[in-house]
């Protein structure tokens, strides 16, 4: 970690310095009143090298207030911010707040500083979007959009150091170990952002106003943050249910959360009160009643929403909120059913963690059943648009309801760049790869794309396979630039497979339609099954029949409605 330096000044001001071979970047430059000390820390660390970037996690006074002083010290420094953050920096009101809160903080702490800076310093030079990378030479900064504390909040992951630099959307960790919730603009976005950060598989974690934390705190933080935010939301809802006034709710909120935070000195009461009011307001914001249908294919369950005549804002965070099996409806994800200009309908499918997938074979069968059973499209042959293209579906009808669906899944893609997988050759069939040194063995991997990337491994006994130990290592291995779904397959008989799956963004699930197709294709390519035969794939949630030819792959399976419901969002 010798290229990472924590630059928190006086426990007041954020700062994380990364020094690459070619460039150096500072994450947040902190409060104006701490500028002199923070600049000196950075200058000492750089030892004459220039500061190339200041990358902000969000545009609040205690994270960006010192910018004018840094620009004076390093005139060539470039400020990187999200599009929303860049827009905020140009507005008069935020600039006024930076100056006002900076003055209040100085008076509160008895610190004098030069407030005669120019507001023109508050502008962004580089716009950062989710998934962007900033190369520093030997180090890569990967941007993660993680809203909730603010709409412009971003976190950053440095894979070479296995370091995650988080922001306040997850909350603030107190020295005593308590996590103080900091969601201000959206509870749902906050919970989505926590899961997104947790999924980076970081080894080292830097937290706002704390810097680098110990290994134990780092491992536990996001679980604690998830629980703390849920408790905070319920606390506010319970106060509202008792009929308390806004003033009484604010007083109780300050009593519960303000004492701990304000006693640590780095937060001024004016800022905390402003954030507390926004937290209560966004929690109590009028909810929209959303109708949904819970359905499953072979136990692969999703929440289906009719979006023919309704737009859904922030479907990523909504999927996280609804999919949670403890605090939401519960499911492997959420599916929107929309109108299409090129097919009978369109589906968008979001995983448990909010990431969007190109295709789901089990979900698309349920989409066809939803459309037919609800008299929206009464065709035994439907065409459904997906991110992986238009798919043809053939419906089996019993008692005027759809019982099963055969889906033309399209041609299997085998070229490494189409999967994608970072290996050479025309295809990857039974290729030995090392996934983790501690696993003590190579895995013979066959890679297939069925609209989603898949890595298939044949093993002797899937029931005893260490799915939860090995699955995440496959999902996040550098071999797979878009992550991967990993299937572990046992040969039961000729044209009979037994499969378990670890899905990217979801973990182990009861079934995966594209995974069953990929497993059948891999079995044929390895000589275990026959081309043109009906291959039975046995999954924890049920069975699928896969028919593979060089031209296409057909998948046939059931689809079941579980229940209808309404939820406030």
Instruction: Give the residue numbers annotated as catalytic, written as ranges.
Output: 360, 512
CA-to-CA separations, 26 to 171, 493, 506, in angstroms, rounded: 21, 58, 33
Residue found by looking up tokens 């009808």 in the block: 397
Number of helices (H), then strands (E), in the chain: 14, 32
Burial 247-267 (b: 16+ CB within 10 A, else e): eebbeebbeebbeebbeeebb
Give the burial class of 328: count Cβ atoms within 10 A of its Cβ; 0-12 exposed, 13-18 middle, 19 or more buried: buried
3-state SS of 145-198 is ECCCCCCCCEEEEECCCCEEECCCCCCEECCCCCEECCCCCCHHHHHHHHHHHH
Burial 174-207 (b: 16+ CB within 10 A, else e): eeeeebbbbbbbbbbbbbbbbbbbbbbebebbbb
Rounded Cα–Cα distance for residues 50 and 408 (Å): 57
Q: Are strands 560-568 and 300-306 parallel, antiparallel or unpaired?
A: unpaired
φ, ψ at 431 (rounded to 5°): -85, 125
Residue found by looking up tokens 């898949």 in the block: 454
Q: Please name which of 137, 128, 129 lies closest in space to residue 158, comparing C-alpha atoms.
A: 137
Helix 92-109 vs helix 269-284: angle between axes, to the nearest 10 degrees?
A: 130
Q: Which structure tokens are listed for 514?
A: 């594209």
Q: Please name which of 474, 475, 480 lies closest in space to residue 436, comparing C-alpha atoms.
A: 474
- Whether 42 contacts 67, CB under 8 Å: no
Rounded Cα–Cα distance for residues 118 and 13 (Å): 20
């Amino acid at each position: 970690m010798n290229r990472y330096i924590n630059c928190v000044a006086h426990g007041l001001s954020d700062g994380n310095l990364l020094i690459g071979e070619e460039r150096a970047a500072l994450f947040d430059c902190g409060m104006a009143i701490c500028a002199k000390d923070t600049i000196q820390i950075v200058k000492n660390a750089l030892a004459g090298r220039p500061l190339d970037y200041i990358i902000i996690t969000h545009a609040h006074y205690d994270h960006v207030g010192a910018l004018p002083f840094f620009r004076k010290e390093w005139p060539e420094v470039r400020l990187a911010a999200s599009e929303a953050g860049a827009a905020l920096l140009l507005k008069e009101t935020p600039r006024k707040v930076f100056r006002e809160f900076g003055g209040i903080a100085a008076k509160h702490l008895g610190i004098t500083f030069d407030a005669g800076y120019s507001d023109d310093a508050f502008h962004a030079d580089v716009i950062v979007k989710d998934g962007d990378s900033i190369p520093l030479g030997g180090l890569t900064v990967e941007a993660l959009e993680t809203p909730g504390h603010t709409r412009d909040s971003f976190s950053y992951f440095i894979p070479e150091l296995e370091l995650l630099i988080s922001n306040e959307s997850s909350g603030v960790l107190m020295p005593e170990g308590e996590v103080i919730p900091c969601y201000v603009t959206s509870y749902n976005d906050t919970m989505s952002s926590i899961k997104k950060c947790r999924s980076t598989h970081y080894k080292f974690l830097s937290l706002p106003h704390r810097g680098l934390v110990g290994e134990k705190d780092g491992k536990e933080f996001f679980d604690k943050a998830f629980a703390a935010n849920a408790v905070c939301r319920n606390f506010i809802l319970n106060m509202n249910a008792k009929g308390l006034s806004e003033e009484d709710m604010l007083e109780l909120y300050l009593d519960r959360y303000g004492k701990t935070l304000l006693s640590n000195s780095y937060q001024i009461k004016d800022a905390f009160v402003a954030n507390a009011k926004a937290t209560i307001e966004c929690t109590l914001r009028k909810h929209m009643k959303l109708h949904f249908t819970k359905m499953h294919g072979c136990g692969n369950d999703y929440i289906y929403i009719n979006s023919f005549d309704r737009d859904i804002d922030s479907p990523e965070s909504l999927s996280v909120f609804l999919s949670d099996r403890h605090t939401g409806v519960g499911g492997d994800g959420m599916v929107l059913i929309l109108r299409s200009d090129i097919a009978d309908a369109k589906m968008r499918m979001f995983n448990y963690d909010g990431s969007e997938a190109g295709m789901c074979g089990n979900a698309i069968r349920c989409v066809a059943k939803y459309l037919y059973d609800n008299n929206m499209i009464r065709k035994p042959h439907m065409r459904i648009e997906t991110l992986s293209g238009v798919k043809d579906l053939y419906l089996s009808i019993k008692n005027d309801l759809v019982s099963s669906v055969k889906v033309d899944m399209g041609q299997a893609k085998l070229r490494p760049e189409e999967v994608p997988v970072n290996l050479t050759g025309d295809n990857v069939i039974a290729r030995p790869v090392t996934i983790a040194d501690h696993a003590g063995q190579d895995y013979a991997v066959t890679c297939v794309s069925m609209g989603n990337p898949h890595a298939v491994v044949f093993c002797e006994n899937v029931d005893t396979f260490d799915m939860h130990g090995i699955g995440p290592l496959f999902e996040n291995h550098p071999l797979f630039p878009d992550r991967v779904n990993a299937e572990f397959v046992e040969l039961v008989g000729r044209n009979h497979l037994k499969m378990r799956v670890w899905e990217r963004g979801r973990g182990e699930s009861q079934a995966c339609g594209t995974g069953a197709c990929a497993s059948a294709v891999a079995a044929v390519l390895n000589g275990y099954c026959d081309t043109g035969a009906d291959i039975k794939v046995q999954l924890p949630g049920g069975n699928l029949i896969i028919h593979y030819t060089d031209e296409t792959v057909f998948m046939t399976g059931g689809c079941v409605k579980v229940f209808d419901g309404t939820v406030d969002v």
